[in-house]
């Protein structure tokens, strides 16, 4: 049974890898389930049995890329996020957030581009895009709430506005702008973002 489970998981990973390769090279709309199955060396019936729909496959690709694994653990329950929340140093929390965002975007950027492009013409993928944005907002609200228990926020900011600022600075669009369009290294973006978070959210020293 363990060997069978391992094989099933390996096959699922092969199908996800095949889908990502085709989605990023040909686009979501132009990629059929049959093409993904052929790329993975699997029967198309197996692909449908495993994921059900192409949208569900893309959704799982996005979830796994964000998490870095396929364990069903919510973002706020992941050890490094919990460690950032628990860190008593507010600046250290913000720098940890920038570091985590950089690591996530390095994994997820190609899939996010697929979702963003497909969302303009596909209502179901638009819904997936909006769900992803809503989930990011919920996570950020919790992180900023934790920050506000450690320090006063910058003068004039409440937690809602601070959440908006953090969402903007840590958005995938800003990451893509700097690292793809302007050619910044990911670690340079991380440092700039961490410095901006500290400057914009924490009181002057």
Domain range summary for the chain, segments of one domain joined by +:
1-52, 69-201
pLDDT profile of the chain (205 residues), mean per 10: 75 95 95 97 95 96 90 90 96 98 92 92 94 94 98 96 98 94 97 98 91
CB 55 within 8 A of CB 125: yes
**In contact, 203 and 155? CB cutoff 8 Å:** yes
Quote the pLDDT of residue 57: 96
Q: What is the pLDDT of residue 110?
A: 87
Residue 114's pLDDT is what? 92
Contact status, residue 103 vs residue 65, Cβ threshold 8 Å: no
Global confidence as pTM: 0.88
Domain boundaries 1-52, corresponding CATH code: 1.10.10.60
Give residue for tokens 């963003």: 116
Predicted pLDDT of residue 70? 84
pLDDT for position 205: 75
Look up residue 125 and give its two tokens. 């993928």
């Amino acid at each position: 049974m363990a060997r069978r489970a391992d094989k099933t998981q390996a096959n699922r990973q092969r199908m996800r890898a095949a889908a990502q390769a085709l989605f990023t090279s040909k686009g979501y709309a132009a990629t059929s389930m049959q093409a993904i199955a052929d790329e993975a060396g699997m029967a198309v019936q197996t692909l449908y049995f495993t994921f059900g729909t192409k949208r569900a496959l893309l959704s799982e690709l996005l979830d796994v890329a964000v998490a870095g694994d396929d364990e069903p653990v919510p973002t706020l329950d992941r050890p490094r996020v919990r460690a950032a929340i628990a860190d008593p140093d507010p600046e250290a929390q913000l720098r940890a957030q920038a570091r985590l965002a950089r690591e996530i975007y390095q994994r997820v950027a190609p899939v996010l581009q697929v979702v963003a492009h497909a969302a303009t013409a596909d209502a179901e993928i638009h819904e997936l895009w909006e769900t992803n944005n809503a989930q990011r907002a919920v996570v950020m609200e919790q992180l900023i709430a934790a920050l506000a228990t450690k320090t006063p926020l910058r003068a004039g900011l409440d937690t809602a506005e601070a959440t908006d600022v953090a969402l903007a600075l840590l958005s995938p669009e800003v990451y893509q702008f700097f690292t793809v369009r302007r050619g910044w290294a990911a670690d340079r973006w991380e440092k700039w973002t961490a410095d901006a978070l500290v400057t914009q959210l924490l009181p002057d020293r």
